[in-house]
Chain A
Amino acid sequence: MAPVLRLEDVHTDIGQYQILHGVSLDVPEGGVHVILGRNGAGKTTTLRTIMGLWKARRGAILFRGENISRLPTPDIAQRGIAFVPENMGIFGGLTVEENMRLATKDGRFDAERLARIHDIFPAIGQFWNKPAHALSGGQKQMLAVSRAIVERRELILIDEPTKGLAPSIIRNMIAAFREIAEETTILLVEQNFHFAKALGQTVAVIDDGGIVHRGAMAELATDVTLQSRFLSLSLEAH
Chain B
Amino acid sequence: MLQASASGTSARKAGRTRGHQGGRFVVYALVGLIGLALALAPFLFPDVRSQEVAARICVFIVLVASYDLLIGYTGIVSFAHTMFFGMGAYGTAIALKSMGPGFEAILIGGGAGIIAALVLALLIGLLSLRVKAIFFAMVTLAAASVMMVLASQLSDFTGGEDGITYSIPRLFSPAFELLTDAEGKALRLFGVPLNGKIALYYFVFITALVLFLALLRIVASPLGSVLQAIRENEMRAEAIGYRVVFYRTAIFCIAAGVAACAGILRAVWLKYTGPEVVLSFDIMIDILLMVVIGGMGTMLGAVIGVVLMTLAQYYLKDLMAVGAEATASLPIVPDLLNPERWLLWLGLCFILLVYFFPAGIAGTMMGKGGHK
- Chain A: which residue is nearest B223 at the CB level? A107
Contact A72 B243 (CB under 8 A): yes
Q: Which of B222, B226, B236, B243 has the most CB of A within 10 A?
A: B236
Contact A131-B371, Cβ < 8 Å, known A91-B228, A98-B225, A102-B229: yes
User: Are A93 and B232 in contact, CB atoms less than 8 angstroms apart?
Assistant: yes
A77 within 8 A of B: yes
- Give the docked Cα–Cα distance between A134 and B15 (Å): 13
* Minimum CB distance partner of A80 in chain B: B241
B240 and A103 form a contact (CB under 8 A):
yes
Contacts of B229 in A (CB 8 A): 91, 94, 102
Within 8 Å of chain B (Cβ to Cβ): is A192? no
Which B residues from 213 to 256 make CB contacts under 8 A with A?
A: 222, 225-226, 228-229, 231-233, 235-244
Contacts of B228 in A (CB 8 A): 91, 93-94, 98
Q: Does B372 contact A (CB under 8 A)?
A: yes
A92 B232 Cβ-Cβ under 8 A:
yes
Is A89's beta carbon under 8 Å from chain B?
A: yes
Residue on B nearest A106 in the bound complex, by CB = B222
A48-91 at interface with B (beta carbon < 8 Å): 51, 53, 72-74, 77-78, 82-83, 85, 89, 91
Number of interface residues of A (CB under 8 A): 24
Query: B residues within 8 A CB of A74?
Result: 238, 241-244
A107 and B222 in contact, given A93-B368, A94-B228 (Cβ under 8 angstroms): yes
Q: Closest CB-CB distance, B56 to chain A, in whole Å?
A: 31
Within 8 Å CB of A77, what residues of B? 238-241
Known: A91-B228, A107-B222. A53 touches B371 (CB 8 A): no
The residue in chain B whose Cβ has the minimal distance to the Cβ of A131 is B371
Bound CA span A85–B240, Å: 11
Which one of A98, A102, A107, A131 contacts B240 once the chains associate, using CB atoms below 8 Å? A102
| Of the residues A82, A91, A131, A147, contact of B233 by C-beta under 8 Å | A91
CB distance from A45 to the nearest CB of B (A): 14
B222 in complex: contacting residue of A78, A93, A101, A133, CB < 8 Å: A101
B226: chain A residues within 8 A (beta carbon): 102
In contact, A101 and B225 (Cβ under 8 angstroms)? yes
Residues of A within 8 A of B237 (CB): 102
**Is the Cβ of A92 less than 8 Å from the Cβ of B371?**
yes
Q: How far is the CB of A5 from chain B (nearest CB, A)?
A: 16
A89, B238: Cβ atoms closer than 8 Å: no
Contacts of A85 in B (CB 8 A): 236, 239
Per-position 1/0 for A92-111, Cβ under 8 A of B: 11100010011100010000
> Which residues does chain B contribute within 8 Å of A72, judged by CB atoms?
238, 243
Given contacts A91-B228, A94-B225, A94-B229, are A83 and B239 in contact (CB under 8 A)? yes
For B231, the chain A residues whose CB sits under 8 A away are 93
B13 at the interface (CB under 8 A from A): yes
CB proximity to B under 8 Å, residues A140-161: 147
Cβ-defined contact, A53 with B222, below 8 A = no
By a CB distance below 8 angstroms, the chain B residues around A82 are 240
Whether the pair A102, B225 counts as a contact (CB closer than 8 A) is yes
Query: What chain A residues lie within 8 Å of B17 (beta carbons)?
Result: 134
Q: In the complex, what distance in Å separates the CA atom of A102 from the CA atom of B231?
A: 14
How many Å lie between the Cα of A82 and that of B241 in the bound state?
Answer: 9
Question: For residue A102, which residues in chain B have a CB less than 8 angstroms away from its CB?
Answer: 222, 225-226, 229, 237, 240, 242
In order of increasing CB-CB distance, the 8 nearest A-B pairs are A133-B371, A77-B241, A73-B238, A92-B371, A98-B225, A107-B222, A83-B239, A91-B229
| B residues neighboring A (CB under 8 Å) | 13, 17, 222, 225-226, 228-229, 231-233, 235-244, 297, 368, 371-372
Instruction: Return 24 A-B CB contacts under 8 Å, by A number.
Output: A73-B238, A74-B242, A74-B243, A74-B244, A77-B240, A83-B239, A85-B239, A89-B233, A91-B229, A91-B236, A92-B372, A94-B225, A94-B228, A98-B225, A102-B225, A102-B226, A102-B229, A102-B237, A102-B242, A103-B241, A107-B222, A134-B17, A134-B371, A147-B240
Known: A73-B238, A74-B244. 8 other contacts (CB 8 A): A74-B241, A74-B242, A77-B241, A78-B241, A91-B232, A91-B236, A98-B225, A103-B241
